[in-house]
Amino acid sequence: MQLRSYDRPNTNRGGNDSQNFIDEAAWFKEDWVNKIILPRNRAPIDISSPLNLAFYFFTSVPTDTTGQWIWKYEELAQTQPDKYYWASATAYDNYALLKKVPDYVQTQYDLLDPITFAIEMMNERIEGTGDGFYPSFKSELHVSYGYSYEFDDELGLWHKEQNDYNPDAAIEVSIDANAAFTSCTVWQEKSGTEHCLNALFVKPNNEKSNLVQRLAFKFNEEYVGHRKKVVYLWGDRNTTSKAAHTVQTQLDVFSETIRDLGWTVISRVNSFNWQGKDKHFFIDEILLEKNPRLPKVRINEKRAKPLIYSVQQAPINDDFSKNKNSERSKIPQELATHLSDTLDYYLCGKYGSRIGRFGASTSVIPTVGWL
């Protein structure tokens, strides 16, 4: 029995196996399966067993494009049932566990956010929107783990290094404030790449407290150890409107709250709101990574996961604007388009000038698409 890591997948090439099992297969790339794992299945053992040259995988449902290959096996099990087998279940099917811990599922429901509970406990598929508002977003390209491996010559060991966050550099925060859901994304730029470090949000509670102020406190808690306490603050024009339960603007509330906590705040809030189709084509140009004047974007897979969901779920209207119906639906609002809006504000506000977009009141992009 061998246990193999795929942090560096090419180290697993060329072996000979009698069977292979993958745990958490949704995080495996299809190339790893087809080019490394399955070719290793070529050393049958001299016994009669259904495990001989078997390939089994176990996983929660995939939440991005990386693990979508697993559904091919579901289809194969339907068309070739004698060769392929597929089974799915929820946490309620784990009778052995529930016999010992009867309240396990309820406890997870109490502790987990709605998205994680639906995926990890109830095995619900998070469906993408196909060619939505961000058609060029690819999780295998734009989502990163936020770390890399470095070799220590003295110790002769590999160790993990966080590579998307610098505690000695300024932080950029993009805010989207609403009465029922207020959120922000946290960014740092390094060597031409915009790293989204985190996605934070707050919802109303029984205290009827100011959501923008609560978000500011939450941001400070996350980065209380950050050494260069300088924040560049981004948002749309509505950020300069009055916040709920206060005579101050949303920008003022967030800025003053973190200033009192020791931060220096520099406002970069947009003075105008881009038209929807302008945002769509401009951000798609960024995500394509073919224009050297524009940055690359990498989103931290763990800490900014709600942003990834929001981007993947964002539909598009016939006029190329973003369909915002999810913000008025009953789905968890971290799955709605709020957080994707913070990405729009940040990238359009910071890089729009590179295509001559300084504040025109009408669209500068043709209806037929980006030229």
Q: Which of 21-35, 51-65, 338-352 shows the lowest per-residue confidence on average (mean pLDDT)?
A: 51-65
Same-domain pairing of 333 and 246: yes
Tell me whether residue 132 is in a domain.
no
Residue 142 has pLDDT above 80, yes or no: yes
What's the average model confidence in pLDDT over 127-151?
A: 78
Backbone angles phi, psi at 296, to 5 degrees: -85, 160
What's the average model confidence in pLDDT over 260-277?
A: 90
The per-residue pLDDT for 13 is 87
Same-domain pairing of 202 and 314: yes
Q: Which of 45-59, 226-240, 274-288 shows the lowest per-residue confidence on average (mean pLDDT)?
A: 45-59
Same-domain pairing of 276 and 178: yes
C-alpha distances in angstroms, 200 versus 137, 223, 348? 21, 12, 20
Assign 161 a pLDDT band (cuts: 50, 70, 90): low
Same-domain pairing of 285 and 344: yes
What's the average model confidence in pLDDT over 145-149?
A: 70
Tell me whether residue 133 is in a domain.
no
Residue 228 has pLDDT above 90, yes or no: yes
Residue 300 has pLDDT above 90, yes or no: yes
Tell me whether residue 369 is in a domain.
no
Task: Provide the token pair at 50.
Answer: 């259904």
Tell me whether residue 104 is in a domain.
yes
Same-domain pairing of 251 and 174: yes
Same-domain pairing of 16 and 118: no
Tell me whether residue 344 is in a domain.
yes
Q: Which of 52-61, 205-214, 311-320, 334-343 shows the lowest per-residue confidence on average (mean pLDDT)?
A: 205-214
Give the count of domains, the chain: 3
Same-domain pairing of 152 and 169: yes
Assign 368 a pLDDT band (cuts: 50, 70, 90): very low
Same-domain pairing of 95 and 193: no
What's the average model confidence in pLDDT over 263-270?
A: 93
Q: Kindly report the pTM of this predicted structure.
A: 0.72
The per-residue pLDDT for 163 is 79
User: Helices (DSSP H) in the chain: which residue ranges?
Assistant: 30-32, 38-40, 70-79, 95-100, 104-111, 114-116, 139-142, 211-222, 250-259, 276-288, 305-312, 338-351
Q: Which of 4-13, 53-62, 137-146 shows the lowest per-residue confidence on average (mean pLDDT)?
A: 4-13
Average pLDDT, the chain: 86
Q: Considering only the C-alpha atoms of the chain, give the largest distance between any 2 of them, rounded to a whole number of Å.
A: 79
Assign 186 a pLDDT band (cuts: 50, 70, 90): very high
Q: Where are the beta strands (DSSP E) in the chain?
A: 19-23, 54-58, 143-144, 147-152, 157-162, 171-176, 182-190, 193-202, 230-234, 264-267, 296-300
Same-domain pairing of 216 and 307: yes
Assign 26 a pLDDT band (cuts: 50, 70, 90): confident
Assign 367 a pLDDT band (cuts: 50, 70, 90): very low
Tell me whether residue 323 is in a domain.
yes
Same-domain pairing of 34 and 178: no
Assign 371 a pLDDT band (cuts: 50, 70, 90): very low
**In the chain, pLDDT over 70 holds for what percent of residues?**
88
Range of the domain at 277: 139-355
Rounded (10°) angle between helices 211-222 and 250-259: 40
Tell me whether residue 339 is in a domain.
yes
The per-residue pLDDT for 158 is 64
The per-residue pLDDT for 359 is 47
Task: Provide the token pair at 348.
Answer: 């359009």
Sheet holding 182-190, edge to edge: 143-144, 296-300, 193-202, 182-190, 171-176, 230-234, 264-267
Residue 362 has pLDDT above 60, yes or no: no
Assign 87 a pLDDT band (cuts: 50, 70, 90): very high
Same-domain pairing of 202 and 322: yes
- Sorted by sequence, the CB contacts under 8 Å of residue 326 that are 6+ apart come out as 313, 315, 335, 336, 337
Same-domain pairing of 99 and 237: no
How many CA atoms, within 13 angstroms, populate the side-chain half-sphere of residue 323? 15
The per-residue pLDDT for 148 is 65
pLDDT, one tens digit per residue, over 307-341 is: 998 998 899 999 999 999 888 887 778 888 999 99
CATH of the domain at 350: 3.30.420.80
d(CA 353, CA 357): 5
Assign 68 a pLDDT band (cuts: 50, 70, 90): confident
Residue 358 has pLDDT above 60, yes or no: no
